[in-house]
Amino acid sequence: MNRVHRIGRGSPSGEVAVSFDPADQRRCRNLLAWFERGAEPGATLLVDDWRLCAGSDPGLAQSIRWITSTHDTEVVITAGAPNDVPEHLRSFVRLGFLALHGLSGFTKATAWKGDWSSVPVGAGPRGDRAVVELTHLADGRWRTGSHLHTTTPETFRSLVLGLMTTHSPKLFQAVLVDAHDSAAFAGLASAPHVRAHHRGVATDPALAEQISEMLLAESQRRLDVVGITWTVFDHRGFDQVLPQLLVCVTGLEEILAAHPGFAATLAGVAEDAGKSGMQLLLDAPHDLAPHRVPDCTVPADLDDVAAALPELMRRPEPVPGFLALHGVPDGFDRQRTWRLRPVREQFRVAAGTDEHGQPVGIDIKSSSLQDGMGPHGEVLGPAGRRAELHRAVLLGQMLWHSPDDLQLVLVDFHGTGAFPGLDNAPHVHGSYRGMSPAIAGRVAEALRGEHERRTGILAAGHHRTTWDYREARSRGAPLDPLPELLVCVDGVRGLLEAHPEFVDVLTTFGREGRTYGQHLLLSDTAPAGELREFVRYGFELTAGGWVRRIGRSVENLALPPDLGEVARSLPRAMQKVEPLHDQLLPPPLHEWPSLTLDELGSISPEHRAVPLGMRDVPFEHRVEVFFAAFGEGGHGAIVGKPGSGRTTALRTLTESITRTFGSTTGFHLADGPLYGRPDARHVVVTASTWAEVPEFIRDDLAWGVELKLADPSWSIVDARRQAHLPDRPGTGLCTYFKQQVRIATS
C-alpha cells in the first residue's frame, strides 16, 4: 500500500499515514531525513501547500531536490500555482484547491473572508493563478455584478466551489439549475450556500415555470429592499440583508431549446444585477453572460474537496476565545492595538461570532458620518445576563482604543453588577453603582457640563464635529485629546423613572451625540420609550441566544466563552501601561473622611470673604473652596435641624474670620435666636428654620448654608435636593449656587 507522509497544516483532503505541521521543525526534519535515506518502498512524501511549508523551512527546496535525485521516491507538491514552486521542482506540482485559495486547511472562521470581488479557479498557461472578476465598472462609473459563462465543466465547478469556500452564506448564496440530473453539482448541492437545487428542468415545463416565477419574484423583492440606494454594493454594510445570489445553470442550451421563454427570465434577472445582487453563471456562451471564465488547469483534488468541504461547512465550530476573536493571541500590546487605524476601522470591533463562525461586529460611529452603525444602541435582556454582553462589547472597544480615543461612563442603576471588572480600566471616566438620589443628581449635572465643554471646544476651534477636531490634531495642531465618550446605562428605565432629570441629559446626547462624540448604550429588560428614537442598533437575548439587530438585519451572536477571565485580567494589564485619568466627578463631599480649615488655605482680607468649606461643582467636574463672602455689606445664616452641624459651622466661621481679619470686630455671630438688631456691619445667625432667621438678614443675605432640615419642604434652596441631602453633620446646600457644600472643622 502506498503510504502518504505529509507535511502540511490543517486537515488533509485524502488519507495519509502521518501529518506534521510545518511549524514542528524537529519532526519535519526527521521525516525529510528519513526520505533522504530512502524511506520505505512505496512511501510518498506530500508537501501540502509549498508556500506555507517553504516559509517554515528555507532549506526545503534543497532537501526535496536531494530526495528526488538520489532515490526512486514519489514526491507530490501542492501549490496555489505552479510558479509558486522553484522551477526545478515544478514537475512534482499537483495544483491544490485549498492552496489555490491561500488556505492550508478549512475552518469557517479562517476561510470565509471573501468580499465578492474576485476568486481564483485554477492555474493559467504561465503557471499564474487564473482569477475570475466577479464585478466590473458599468460604463466606468459604478460597480455592478458580472454575468459569467464557462466553457468547461471543470472551471464551472471550480468557480462555484471556490465561492463557497471563501464566502459565508451571509454574503453568497446559490440557486442550482440543472437541465437533467448530471454530476455538475455533485457534492456542491449539500453546501449551506445552496438555496435550491433543481434537476431535470429541460424535461419538466411546470418546474421551468416555477423557477422563472421564483427568480423574477426574488429579483423584485431585492429591488424593493435596496430602494433608492445606488447599487447593492452601496447598500451593503452592517445592516445588509442581501447576500449575492448566483443563478448557476448547467445544460443551458438544452433548457432554452425546450423552454425558449426561460431566456426572458434570465434576461430579467440580468438586467438589474447592480441593484438586486443576482448574477448569472452559465455553462455555455450567451449574450446575457458576456464575461468569460478563463480556461485554466483546475486543481487535481477538486472533486475530492467538493465531496468533503460541504460537510465541514455545516459542522459547528467552537466559539473562539476573546483574544483569538480579536486576532491578538499574544495578548494586549498597546503598540499594536492602540495604534491609529483608518477611519473606517476605528470603533469597529468584533463582539462575537455568528452561526457560520464569522465575526459579528459593533461600530459605534455614526452611520451617516463614518459608515458605522451608531452612535447609540441598546441591550435588552434579563439583569443577570446583560453583563456578559457589556463585557464583549466594551472590552473589545477598550482593547483597540486608548483612553485618549475612548472614555466610558458606567451607570449601574440597580447595582446588580452590570459591569464587573470593567471599572478597573483606564478608559473608565466614571463608574456608579446603585445610585443614590444625591449621586444621580451629580452625575446628571456632570454630563450636562461635559456636553457644554465639548460644545465650547469645537466652537472655539471652528471644528464641525469631534472627528474634524481629531483630524486636525493628527495633522499636528496643538490640541488636547478629545476622546469619544460612551455612556453605558444599565437599568435605564428605572433611572429615568426615579431621576427625571436624566431624560433631558440623555435626550441631548441622543440628539447631538454624533456631532460631539457622545454615545449611549442603554440596557434594560425592555426598551426605554423616551429614548428609543435615538437607538440605531441593539442586542437582544432571545430564546435562541443573543442577536444583533440593525434595521432589518438580524445576526445571531455567540459570545467568547472566556469573557469573565478577560474582564479580570485585561483592564489591569491596561492600567499597568496607562494611569487612571481624571474622573468625571470627585468623590462626594459627604464621603470625605475629614475636612479641616487648614486644608482650605487663606485669602486676602481685601476680598471680604473667608473660607468655610468645600463646594461641589459637578457641572465643571470639580470641587472648590466655599467662601462666606460678605462684600461691602450683607449678612449670613446657617440653618439646619438640631444635630446638623450648625454650631460647628459657626465655630469654623469664627476661626476663619479671625485668621483672615485678625479679629471678629464688625461681626456679630449668634448661635441661636436673635432678638433685636445688633450694631454690626455683618451679622450671622444659626437657626432651625428659615422662618427663625430675622427678616433684616433674609432681606440682605450675602451668603447662607442650608444644612439638613427637619422637613425638606421648608427649604428655600431646592426642596428636592434638600430631601436627597445626606444626613451628615456639616453637609448642606449653599443658597447662592444651590450646590452641595461641606463645612470644615476648625
Domain membership of residue 65 (yes or no) is yes
Q: How far apart are CA 706 and CA 692, in angstroms?
A: 13
- pTM for this prediction: 0.87
Closest CA to 309 of 22, 97, 78, 46: 97
Domain membership of residue 319 (yes or no) is no
Confidence at residue 220, expressed as pLDDT on a 0 to 100 scale: 94
Segment 521-566, tens digit of pLDDT: 999 999 998 899 999 999 999 999 999 999 888 999 999 999 999 9
- 384 known member of a binding site: yes
Cell of 726: 445626606
Domain membership of residue 14 (yes or no) is yes
CA dihedral of 650, 656, 659, 664, whole degrees rounded to 10: -40
Distance of CA 384 to the CA centre of its chain: 22
Same-domain status, 503 and 397: yes
Is the torsion defined by CA of 4, 5, 6, 12 positive or negative?
Answer: positive
- 742 known member of a binding site: no
Domain closes at, from 44, 68, 95: 95
CB atoms within 10 A of CB 109: 17
Phi-psi map region of 708: left, alpha, beta (phi>0 left; psi -120 to 50 alpha) = beta
| Cis bond upstream, residue 579 (ω within 30) | no
CB atoms within 10 A of CB 213: 11
Same-domain status, 293 and 220: yes
- 359 known member of a binding site: no
Confidence at residue 1, expressed as pLDDT on a 0 to 100 scale: 47
Q: Contact, 356 vs 168, CB < 8 A?
A: yes
Task: Write out residues in the chain with pLDDT < 70, as ranges.
Answer: 1, 140, 230, 234-237, 239
CATH code of 560's domain? 3.40.50.300
Same-domain status, 431 and 565: yes
Query: Residues 6 or more apart from 678 whose CB is under 8 A from it?
Result: 668, 670
Q: Which domain holds residue 288?
A: 112-314
Q: How far apart are CA 564 and CA 586, in angstroms?
A: 29
Cell of 263: 431566456
Instruction: Report CA-CA distances (Å) from 129 to 148, 159, 199, 521, 628.
Output: 18, 13, 32, 47, 83
Domain membership of residue 217 (yes or no) is yes
Strands of 622-629's sheet in order across:
622-629, 609-617, 740-743, 731-734, 701-707, 635-639, 682-687, 667-671
- 55 known member of a binding site: no
Same-domain status, 224 and 171: yes
Domain membership of residue 580 (yes or no) is no
Confidence at residue 235, expressed as pLDDT on a 0 to 100 scale: 62
Residue with cell 470673604: 609
CA dihedral of 150, 151, 155, 156, whole degrees rounded to 10: 50
First to last CA, the chain: 98
Same-domain status, 252 and 360: no
Is the torsion defined by CA of 212, 213, 216, 221 positive or negative?
Answer: negative
Task: Say whether 29 sits in a helix, a strand or coil.
Answer: helix
Domain membership of residue 454 (yes or no) is no
Q: Contact, 164 vs 310, CB < 8 A?
A: yes
Is the torsion defined by CA of 561, 563, 565, 569 positive or negative?
Answer: positive
Same-domain status, 366 and 504: yes
Instruction: Report CA-CA distances (Å) from 163 to 99, 108, 166, 290, 318.
Output: 14, 13, 5, 20, 23
Q: Contact, 472 vs 463, CB < 8 A?
A: yes
- 382 known member of a binding site: yes
Segment 132-175, tens digit of pLDDT: 999 988 776 778 899 999 999 999 999 999 999 999 999 999 99
- 456 known member of a binding site: no
Confidence at residue 639, expressed as pLDDT on a 0 to 100 scale: 98
Same-domain status, 30 and 78: yes
Domain closes at, from 292, 314, 336: 314
* Residue-wise burial string across 350-376, b where 16 or more C-beta atoms lie within 10 A, e elsewhere: bbbbbbbbbebbbbbbbbeebebbbbb
Q: Contact, 547 vs 553, CB < 8 A?
A: no
Using H for helix, E for strand and C for coil, what is the string for 639-663?
Answer: ECCCCCCHHHHHHHHHHHHHHHHCC
Q: Contact, 572 vs 584, CB < 8 A?
A: no
Same-domain status, 553 and 603: no
Same-domain status, 260 and 295: yes
Same-domain status, 533 and 568: yes
What residue type is 569 in one-letter code? S
- 472 known member of a binding site: no
Question: Residue 391: phi, psi to the nearest 5?
Answer: -60, -45
* Residue-wise burial string across 523-556, b where 16 or more C-beta atoms lie within 10 A, e elsewhere: bbeebbebbeebbbbbbbbeeeebbbbbeebebb
Domain membership of residue 476 (yes or no) is no
Q: How far apart are CA 240 and CA 225, in angstroms?
A: 10
Question: Residue 525: phi, psi to the nearest 5?
Answer: -80, -20
Query: Residues 6 or more apart from 353 whose CB is under 8 A from it?
Result: 109, 319, 320, 325, 359, 360, 557, 558
Confidence at residue 625, expressed as pLDDT on a 0 to 100 scale: 97
Same-domain status, 148 and 67: no
Domain closes at, from 314, 345, 368: 314
Domain membership of residue 116 (yes or no) is yes
Q: How far apart are CA 707 and CA 650, in angstroms?
A: 12
Same-domain status, 89 and 144: no
Number of independent structural domains in the chain: 4
Query: Residues 6 or more apart from 89 whose CB is under 8 A from it?
Result: 61, 64, 65, 68, 77
Q: How far apart are CA 322 and CA 350, in angstroms?
A: 9
Cell of 269: 434577472
- 388 known member of a binding site: yes
What residue type is 365 in one-letter code? K
What residue type is 263 in one-letter code? A
Helices (H), 583-694: 646-661
Q: How far apart are CA 208 and CA 255, in angstroms?
A: 9
- Which regions of 513-661 does DSSP assign to beta strands (E)? 518-524, 537-542, 545-550, 553-557, 609-617, 622-629, 635-639
Q: How far apart are CA 306 and CA 310, in angstroms?
A: 7
